[in-house]
Chain A
Amino acid sequence: MSPMARTAPVPAATDPAIIRNFCIIAHIDHGKSTLADRMLQLTGAVQQRDMKAQYLDRMDIERERGITIKSQAVRVPWEVDGTAYCLNMIDTPGHVDFTYEVSRSLAACEGAILLVDAAQGIEAQTLANLYLAMEHNLTIIPVLNKIDLPAAQPEKYALELANLIGGKAEDVLLVSGKTGIGVEALLDKIVRDLPAPVGNPDAPARAMIFDSVYDTYRGVVTYVRVVDGNLKPRERIQMMSTRATHELLEIGVSSPEPTPCKGLGVGEVGYLITGVKDVRQSKVGDTVTTLNKPATESLGGYEDPKPMVFSGLYPLDGADYPVLRDALDKFTLNDAALVYEPETSAALGFGFRVGFLGLLHLEITRERLEREYKLDLISTAPNVEYEVTLEDRKVIEVTNPSEYPSGKIAEVREPMVAATILAPNEFVGAIMELCQQRRGVMGGMDYLSEDRVEIRYRLPLAEIVFDFFDLLKSKTRGYGSLDWKADGDQVADLVKVDILLQGEQVDAFSAITHRDKAYAYGVMMTGKLRELIPRQQFEVPIQAAIGARIIARESIRAIRKDVLAKCYGGDITRKRKLLEKQKEGKKRMKMVGRVEVPQEAFIAALSSDDSKDKSKK
């Protein structure tokens, strides 16, 4: 058993040979943050009294949902055989929406802990991240967590992991982040098995940005891994993608509180502060060099984040529009993947069309906007980006159904994804049925173990952005897991379905769907609205239409009676209060033509049938 390191190696003067850079690859609730907490405690990086559950997850929302959105790097000391080593633990986001961020985090490491819940086995997203880790030639340490759970099946899942990455089931470490069992052995194994970083200390400095976070007091905090050369305080640095230069106001390491230091050398991981206020000036994946002795070649692998899912965000109260604008403005300081532009909806008023990496990104952003800025928001049904070619060969990118051209269309292309689904084999039939319904084409199927399969499908992104994951979960009794990545596009027979209330088109309810599904959407939405919109003084026809062709219709009968029969002496106070309350309620109605539509109807019609809480993962 190894003791806590007596003297920690000093930044800027650390021999790469005693550095170990690693990350933890795990599914959302497989206990990564708890294990990280335990490591911080055992290495003495965090004192017992400062310990909070999931120390590294800074934002409340992360702590509550138990998922890590922004990665961070922590430097901890650990002694093996009398040598003090420096371990850099780089926390990675676990969700598929953040694949690019994950890949940058992985690029900063030499090794990865593959952490799997001993009661659940590996999940599709973990498998995807494991694949990325292997692509980066990382050394993998397979670990089963939560072995203290009564439902743990370490033998079964150790075999599964061994089959996946090669090796023997006995080599899989068994730990419990909760009780601490096996964590010291894991720290030892990190030191022994993971390779030390290699780089040229005399070459021009090259450091890769793997995360970039906006801090209210410090401005942008940029996390880097130095590959060659070194970085020192007060130096001028240059971002190689933009050639922008900044002065290094502070350079330091997280241990885990930010600690300024004299610099960072080969293989070291730390943070830079330049006074920049916008994360877009410090892009994840970019290479940092120095102005005095610039590198000629960047480290490569940089990509601009590409939004995949678009949704209109509207404040319930139109007066909150400026608040929403300012909030989005602030969010983009910290989230280079978030893009937005103003948008107007006849039904919902002023709002923004916002592009996200995926549904989780959408939901987290929306929830943070509501929580941190006290906003009540309506989000329109998520859309993907369609490429519409008109007959005159003009090409339009459509992220909002209301932009869908009404003229002659030559071709529409929709984005596709390669999806991987892992589940117990008893659910294969149900999963295939779901994927076929969603216009999926099967790519293949493999058994991970005796009873668990990996199914691969190519699916239109539009088919998975709304409720696919919820359905997958319910069809597999919670055991199914999903990972996807962009996989080009395809020509598809798509149409725009409009919803009309008393002949007036309600833009918020328009949708782009496959022609075969237009009727179902029309029937579903008109039916929903019939239930949600209160009866008016006149009959209100609700129609679904493709262009001028009506494909579904419902009608809300006119209300004929709205009067309290008895209003005598004892009824007056109550009746007055009721009418005043109803009058207040009327103010919150949106007018569509002459039809009064309650806000709740918009919200309910735009949300999926199940409760909101389900699509969180």
Chain B
Amino acid sequence: MPSVLPLGDPAPADGVLPKQARHGAAGRGFGLYVHIPFCAVRCGYCDFNTYTATELGGGASQDAYAATATTEVNFAARVLEQSGLPARELDTVFFGGGTPTLLPASDLVTVLQSAAGVWGLKNDAEVTTEANPDSVSRSSLRELADGGFTRVSFGMQSAVPHVLKVLDRTHEPSRVPQAIEWAREAGLKVSVDLIYGTPGESEADWELSVRTALGYEPDHISAYALIVEEGTKLAAQIRRGQVPPIDDDDHASKYALADGLFAAAGLSWYEVSNWARSPEDACRHNLAYWRGSDWWGVGPGAHSHVGGVRWWNVKHPTAYANRLSQGQSPAAGRETLDEATRDVERIMLAARLSDGLALDTLGPAPRRAVAQLIAGELIEPAQAFAGRLILTLRGRLLADTVVRDLLPD
């Protein structure tokens, strides 16, 4: 998650949600996100809410973090109950960061088990952790699998050393296949993350990364264009001319290249930046975000959504730990969305999925835009005739343009 929090309304100290949150909750899935705000080093492009070991102490320290996160899990269970939401078992859990695997596997399992204790985990629940290839071992992956994890997402980013160097990634490219092999042995599903468009990355470099990742036969690949966020080291390097600026046209070419190679290897896109070997291999946790399900986000800066109420925790781990130790909600702000705004979000998120949007859910003005979208080769014509809006490859690259055209005036 980007490090700057949105502007919203103040959140109450008891965390209790407005009434609208409970409407229809029984019919919605429920997930848990756990943010682990630690990294061994901070990467030059990263603006996420993460800290290196030496930066934090007290309840925010790495040692105390599992206990602090567990406190929020318990707090969450109370708040949901007080807010009149029905008891729901978890469909998905996702540990993200930061580098979750910087914590001992036992800590991650402790947090997962505390959540399973208060809510219960569905039998087929998807439990994912992000992992850095050089912060896992055969035994730690085994321990995660035994503790209830079903899936691991490796931050591979690139197979090319000079690209990894610009990204400040420390892992040896050769660590990746090793880590994937161990994960497989442990019975975990495997996803790899790739980044394209890094300054200095040639098309050949990118093709090598894609082919290398495909060679590991993962179940799932996420590929993201590098975003240079303000305030990062990379942004400063570009500003000073030490590193060439990123180029959207280069991004577009590389996206198209990867999409073609993924498809040829049997991975289909299901969201703008995500490809899966089969529909069952898609990340259910992320799909829940895009389909408007409920989830609670644990951890500093983590975002939550329950029935059209979105909120986000205070950003700094120390402030976060202090709030919880005083029995207060760690939320920094929230927003309660009206129907029109929820509709905007629905369009914005669903349009990015391969399932797309049902055209009959759109208002009259957006529906008038559909013909133009077909003319612009942005959506699949046959699907549109059949009543669904599904992006073409060109449309995926111009998804924001499409969404703007579809938003009500």
Contacts and interface: CB of A to CB of B under 8 A. Distances in A.
Contacts of B387: none
Given A565-B272, A569-B297, 13 more contacts: A557-B249, A559-B398, A560-B397, A561-B398, A562-B399, A564-B400, A569-B295, A570-B2, A574-B4, A579-B344, A579-B400, A580-B344, A580-B407
B251 A570 contact: no
Nearest to A563: B399
B352 A573 contact: no
A566 B227 contact: yes
Interface string B209-240: 00000000000000011010000000000000
Contacts of B310: 572-573
A572 B399 contact: no
B65 interface: no
Nearest to A587: B409
Contact of B6 (A566, A568, A573): A573
Contact of B348 (A560, A566, A576): A576
B286 A574 contact: no
A586 interface: yes
B273 A575 contact: no
Contact of A561 (B4, B249, B295, B404): B249
Interface residues of A, number: 28
B301 interface: yes
Max chain A Cβ within 10 angstroms of own Cβ: one of B289, B305, B378: B289
Interface string B297-316: 10001111100001010000
List the 10 closest A-B pairs by CB distance, nearest first.
Answer: A570-B1, A560-B252, A563-B399, A570-B303, A561-B252, A565-B224, A565-B225, A561-B248, A573-B6, A562-B400
A579 to B, nearest CB: 6
Interface in A527-555: 537-538
Contact of B349 (A570, A572, A577, A582): A572
29 contacts: A537-B376, A560-B398, A561-B225, A561-B255, A562-B398, A562-B401, A563-B272, A563-B399, A565-B227, A566-B273, A567-B272, A569-B297, A569-B304, A570-B1, A570-B2, A570-B297, A570-B301, A570-B312, A571-B1, A572-B303, A572-B348, A573-B310, A574-B2, A574-B4, A580-B407, A582-B400, A582-B404, A586-B404, A587-B409
B341 interface: yes
Given A561-B249, A566-B273, A568-B1, A573 B8 contact: yes
Nearest to B396: A563
Max chain B Cβ within 10 angstroms of own Cβ: one of A538, A560, A561, A571: A561
Contact of A569 (B6, B305, B404): B305
A538 B304 CA distance: 39
Interface in B389-409: 396-401, 403-404, 407, 409
Contacts of B407: 579-580, 583
A577 B289 contact: no
Max chain A Cβ within 10 angstroms of own Cβ: one of B8, B304, B348: B348
Contacts of A576: 341, 344-345, 348
B43 to A, nearest CB: 15
B207 interface: no
Nearest to A577: B6
Nearest to B304: A569
B38 interface: no
B335 interface: yes
Contacts of B352: 563, 567
Nearest to B251: A561
Contact of A568 (B248, B251, B289, B401): B289
Contacts of B297: 569-570
A579 B397 CA distance: 16
Contacts of A557: 249
Contacts of B312: 570, 573
B249 A572 contact: no
Given A537-B398, A561-B252, A583-B407, A575 B376 contact: no
Contacts of A562: 248, 397-401
Contacts of B345: 572, 576
B33 interface: yes
B287 to A, nearest CB: 11
Contacts of A587: 409
Nearest to B403: A579
Nearest to B1: A570
Given A565-B273, A576-B341, A560 B400 contact: no
Nearest to A574: B6
A579 B398 contact: no
Contacts of B224: 565-566
Interface in B5-41: 6, 8, 33
Contacts of B4: 574
Nearest to B223: A565
B286 A561 contact: no
Contacts of A574: 2, 4, 6
A415 B2 CA distance: 61
Given A561-B225, A561-B248, A569-B1, A583 B6 contact: no
A293 to B, nearest CB: 70
Contacts of B303: 569-570, 572-573
Max chain B Cβ within 10 angstroms of own Cβ: one of A557, A573, A587: A573
A569 B94 CA distance: 11
A583 B348 CA distance: 12
Contacts of B255: 561
A8 B404 CA distance: 74
Contacts of A577: 6
Interface in B264-301: 272-273, 286, 289-290, 295, 297, 301
Nearest to B227: A565
A580 B343 CA distance: 12
Contacts of B2: 570-571, 574
A392 B310 CA distance: 74
B131 to A, nearest CB: 17
A573 B1 contact: no
B168 to A, nearest CB: 18
A587 B407 CA distance: 12
Contacts of B302: 570
